[in-house]
């Protein structure tokens, strides 16, 4: 006899989110957002949120949060997420996320959360002082996904462990509350080959990140052409010319990153890029890379600027998106409430 979970019969649904902390960068785009846009063309319903409740798990400025949500929303729209096809909303505008998160906190086990590397990284040495919310962050993330019975979650590679936790939570819920029926589907991460892990321009061994204190470490989606060219010119490299093959990138994190970025921007593989540029120095490669990045980001940056000057338009998108998301989450939450035995007249 096997314990294989019962197959899920419901429709495919896509959900993902980004934290409204700092400006979105090329890593967010190439790792996730690009795929969000592509997935809209399929038949699955798409839900894309600004996860403002997750942004509260570390010290933050309350007066700046709503504006940051508008900023992330503007970046989604500028990158091509279409509000007519996808629900775009603020996580906090759909209270079902928080309510399901509580239920799932009683499903997830302490040991599962203690294994989360992102908590260890973010809490640092003084974990005792971290908020409880930072510790239970992955459970809220599981709720974000499961409250829509989402089946696919387009993310960068760094979210893989959180997705595994969401799967564990779904399986445990189904076992404990639904007699093994697949009420909550096991969400699959959708991770792109190239672009899934874009590294810092200043250190090829650490991730490109909104929270890096150095702005030169990342290319922001709102950077202008001169800024992009300057950042790429200053990007850390090694003295060797580019290798002819991908194996030659192995001990060269900075070279690998720049080749990977170029490949992701131009829709090619790293092998293909090296077949063309192998043997050339960075003096020749960097301007080509800068051109590709500028060509790519300029229209996004321009549209982002236009939208940020029109907060009323962004608010209309968020209001409509929250209506759709609330309507989709309500029946799932009602089903879960019944299964966990809540009172109902
Ligand atoms: P966040 O806000 O850190 O990042 C948003 C998305 O961008 C991807 N990403 C990257 N991809 C490639 N290279 C990089 N350097 C890079 N940096 C970031 C992330 O993998 C992510 O897909 N916990 C999530 C937010 C979240 C969420 C969710 C995601 C909350 N609830 C539900 C999916 C589903 C986070 O902190 O992402």
Q: What is the pLDDT of residues 6-40, one digit of tens each?
A: 789 899 999 999 999 888 999 999 999 999 999 99
Quote the CA–CA distance of 261 and 294 in Å, as a whole number.
Answer: 12
Q: Are 102 and 53 in contact (CB under 8 A)?
A: no
State the distance from the centre of ligand 1 to the C-alpha of 27, rounded, in angstroms: 9
Quote the CA–CA distance of 150 and 152 in Å, as a whole number.
Answer: 6
| Token pair in block for residue 310 | 């029109």
| Token pair in block for residue 238 | 């090694």
Region of residue 8 (phi > 0: left; psi between -120 and 50: alpha; otherwise: beta): beta
| Token pair in block for residue 265 | 């921007």
Measured from the CB, is residue 194 less than 6 Å from ligand 1?
A: no
Token match 């790429």: residue? Answer: 232
Measured from the CB, is residue 54 less than 6 Å from ligand 1?
A: yes
- pLDDT over 60 (residue 205): yes
Percent of the chain with pLDDT over 70: 99
| Strand ranges of the sheet holding 188-190, from the earlier edge strand across to the other edge | 86-90, 45-50, 13-18, 152-154, 188-190
What average pLDDT does the segment 52-80 reach? 97
State the distance from the centre of ligand 1 to the C-alpha of 19, rounded, in angstroms: 7
If pLDDT is split at 50, 70 and 90, which confidence band does 341 have? very high
Rounded mean pLDDT of the chain?
A: 95
Q: What's the CA dihedral at 212, 214, 217, 223 to 10 degrees? A: 110
Where in the sequence numbering do the catalytic residues fall? Answer: 122, 207, 210
Q: Report pTM.
A: 0.96
Quote the CA–CA distance of 345 and 332 in Å, as a whole number.
Answer: 19
> Which ligand 1 atom is the nearest neighbour of the CA of 15?
34
Element (H, E) at 257: helix 253-266
- pLDDT over 60 (residue 1): no
């Amino acid at each position: 006899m096997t314990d294989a979970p019962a197959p899920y019969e419901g429709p495919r649904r896509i959900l993902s989110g980004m934290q409204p902390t700092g400006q979105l960068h090329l890593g967010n785009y190439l790792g996730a957002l690009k795929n969000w846009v592509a997935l809209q063309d399929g038949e699955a319903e798409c839900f894309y949120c600004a996860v403002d409740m997750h942004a509260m798990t570390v010290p933050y400025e309350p007066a700046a949060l709503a504006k940051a949500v508008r900023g992330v929303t503007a970046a989604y729209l500028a990158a091509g997420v279409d509000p007519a096809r996808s629900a775009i909303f603020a996580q906090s505008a759909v209270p079902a996320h928080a309510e399901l998160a509580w239920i799932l906190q009683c499903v997830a086990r302490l040991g599962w959360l203690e294994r989360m590397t992102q908590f260890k990284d973010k809490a640092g040495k003084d974990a005792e002082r971290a908020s409880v919310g930072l510790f239970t962050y992955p459970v809220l993330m599981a709720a974000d996904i499961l409250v829509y019975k989402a089946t696919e979650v387009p993310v960068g590679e760094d979210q893989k462990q959180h997705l595994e936790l969401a799967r564990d939570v779904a399986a445990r819920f189904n076992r404990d509350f639904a007699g093994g029926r697949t009420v909550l589907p096991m969400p699959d991460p959708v991770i792109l080959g190239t672009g899934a892990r874009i590294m810092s321009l200043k250190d090829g061994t650490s991730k490109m990140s909104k929270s890096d204190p150095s702005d030169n470490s990342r290319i922001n989606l709102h950077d202008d052409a001169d800024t992009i060219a300057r950042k790429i010119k200053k990007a850390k490299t090694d003295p060797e010319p580019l290798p002819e093959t991908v194996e030659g990138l192995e001990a060269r994190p900075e070279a690998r990153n720049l080749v990977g970025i170029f490949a992701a921007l131009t829709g090619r593989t790293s092998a293909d890029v090296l077949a063309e540029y192998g043997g050339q120095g960075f003096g020749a490669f960097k301007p080509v890379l800068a051109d590709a990045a500028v060509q790519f980001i300029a229209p996004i940056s321009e549209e982002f600027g236009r939208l940020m000057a029109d907060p009323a338009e962004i608010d209309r998108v968020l209001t409509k998106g929250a209506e759709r998301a609330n309507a989709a989450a309500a029946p799932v939450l009602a089903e879960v409430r019944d299964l966990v035995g809540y009172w109902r007249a």
